[in-house]
Structure 1
């Protein structure tokens, strides 16, 4: 599947800026570890830069110059990388983007430290006005937005881990976790350009809602790929979520729909996970049309998003690009 325009439009700019930031950071003793993680040597393993690209597209959509806000775009990206390092440690995931995770290569303790260094670099960016065009009020607002986002994201991660030991979780509880863990940073990427460009309160709320919808769609799409995706393309095992007892959206919907006999069979298969049991799990999920049901729900979210994008004050070109990105998220294969 072809990548949407947004993901190719800003990627090289973001990567170049990230290289500059990391290699010129005062914590240069960590650069030799951080640099190859954030800028992998193989192009196929370089992250998509979804969040930072969304931020820059909306900045441009409000007729601001994206190059003046590359530092903030990178701050968003660095927060994401920080969260992934900690997420992989907590989930004991050994593969990320087709390569060993940082903790698998360096150990948990060193990886925690490196994750914190990356977070510190991001904080340093948000605390400095590099474009010299922001008022003190705007700068304080930016710091506040990043701080609130980070608290929300950490709370979401806590809920996700806590769910692993809970037997009963409602679909609403799961969506609330998504809005915090995945959606917080997505929402920041959508609404921060509105704040920086001086949009009114209604416009900023629309952007915030778009970010929440995008976060939900992104995580649910991730959940689908975690079960039905091609590991070669996703760079992640199809067993990972099952092994970690993750209460993903397909699993929660399954528990709601399964008859008692299929619940028992499903849990028995999970306790002895291998290629054969995995295929039997897929058969049970298909029996209850779990994947197609979720895809229909995603299409409903997409309709809501398109309506909000249409009403926004963005340029026609940016509206088209963002709609394309939303469609890509629910159809992606990696």
Structure 2
């Protein structure tokens, strides 16, 4: 069985429960404990990035020079002129870390999972390029999005190139498990597209009445759009590490639950997050009229605040700064913020439960738990 114990959440997760008013939270952790956890997670991410980086650089280097330049910018390696940027806004590398830890958790060497780590990182970057265009998001990681720096057509092309290279990088991996890994990645890509399609269609659906988006429908979309790739990362590590199907399935399920938790926190930050941390304006999701967890949970709960928020959102009027602030307050009053925190913690617990169902190596399982908690331990 896994080295994770079913007894209690790690300290930092208990502090989240306390701040959220959720069951299980009894006290806020000390600053030193929180900093210690953050340092452990940061060191873990650094270790995995360092191991994957040479192969990732090689994969991007195979692209056409122009699409490769855009990919390097998207990955935070270069500025818009193509000049190497050591201080660039490189992502944390969560998905590549999950792939390596997935292999280590089943008793393999993390190096076995490097091709899978490269593939999921390239797919993730591809999805961000295309999502920013579809959502008209002009900023990514506190820099202009690729489509703002290079143009819409070039950004689409760069995304296509990254997707093709992701599949190629995995397919070219020698060994008996490559075919299974490629099949799993391709299935995940189909799921990602389905999730994005639903997300776009939600924008056209009404805020209330027949056809309104229900929280369960949003949860299903978020699992496809966000959870599937996190699950795929863990699963690819397990597949390339030689794990049996049952273990692969358990790790995939853990990643999917983790993705739902991550999306819930992201939705909180999309309304109430600090712009200096999120890189987006305050109340950004409300200004864009996005149907997210907090709003849908608030509207589903009913009550005066929910009805007032619904009327403002459904009015068709532009949501300016003052209106967005008012709607955010109504959503919070109607329970949207607390309900979304509770959802994040439920999904985190479900992710841990899935890990406990698999026969994982003790030390790697503990590192997965550290990373899981770190992904939710943001300013929310």
**TM-score using structure 2 length:** 0.80
Instruction: Give the distance between the partners of 1:17 and 1:200, measured in 2 at CA.
Output: 26
Pick one of 22, 28, 50 that aligns with 2:65.
28
Alpha-carbon separation, structure 1, partners of 2:316 and 2:363: 47
Deviations 1:159-191 (A, max 9, x none): 000000111011121111111111121111122
Instruction: Summarize deviations over 1:250-273 as a string: whole Å, max 9, x none.
Output: 111121124354235542798343
CA RMSD of aligned residues (A): 2.2
Residues 1:163 and 2:202 aligned together:
yes
Which residue, out of 48, 60, 66, partners 1:10?
Answer: 48
Matched with 2:9 is: none
User: Could you tell which deviates more after superposition, 30-39 or 269-278?
Assistant: 269-278
- Quote the offset at 1:115 in angstroms: 0.8
Among candidates 160, 173, 176, match of residue 217 of structure 2: 173
Counterpart position of 2:95: 51
**Aligned pairs, number:** 328
Residues 191, 275 of structure 1: CA spacing in aligned structure 2 closer, same or farther, 3 A cutoff? same
Q: Which residue is 2:185 aligned to?
A: 146
Provide closer, same or farther for how the CA distance between residues 264 and 307 of structure 1 changes in structure 2, counting only shifts above 3 A. closer
- Say whether the 8 Å CA contact 1:187–1:209 is kept in structure 2: yes
More helix by share: 1
Q: How does 1:248-327 map to 2 (within 5 A)?
A: 248-259=292-303, 261-264=307-310, 266-267=312-313, 271-327=317-373
Query: 2:253 pairs with 209, 215, 220, which one?
Result: 209
SS at match of 2:65: coil
Specify whether residues 330 and 266 from structure 1 end up closer, same or farther in structure 2 by C-alpha distance, changes over 3 A only.
Answer: farther
Q: Give the secondary-structure state (helix, strand or coil) at the position aligned to 1:280.
A: helix
CA–CA separation in structure 1 for the residues paired with 2:352 and 2:63: 43
- Matches of 2:69 and 2:344, distance apart in 1: 41
Find out whether 1:113 has 2:161 as its counterpart.
no
TM-score by length of 1: 0.90
The match for 2:282 among 223, 238, 245 is 238
Aligned residue in 1 for 2:233:
189
Q: Is the 8 A contact 1:195 1:204 kept in 2?
A: yes
Which segment is superposed worse, 192-201 or 120-129?
192-201
Match for residue 225 of structure 1? 269
Kindly indicate whether the alpha-carbon contact (under 8 Å) linking 1:15 and 1:39 is maintained by their aligned counterparts in 2: no
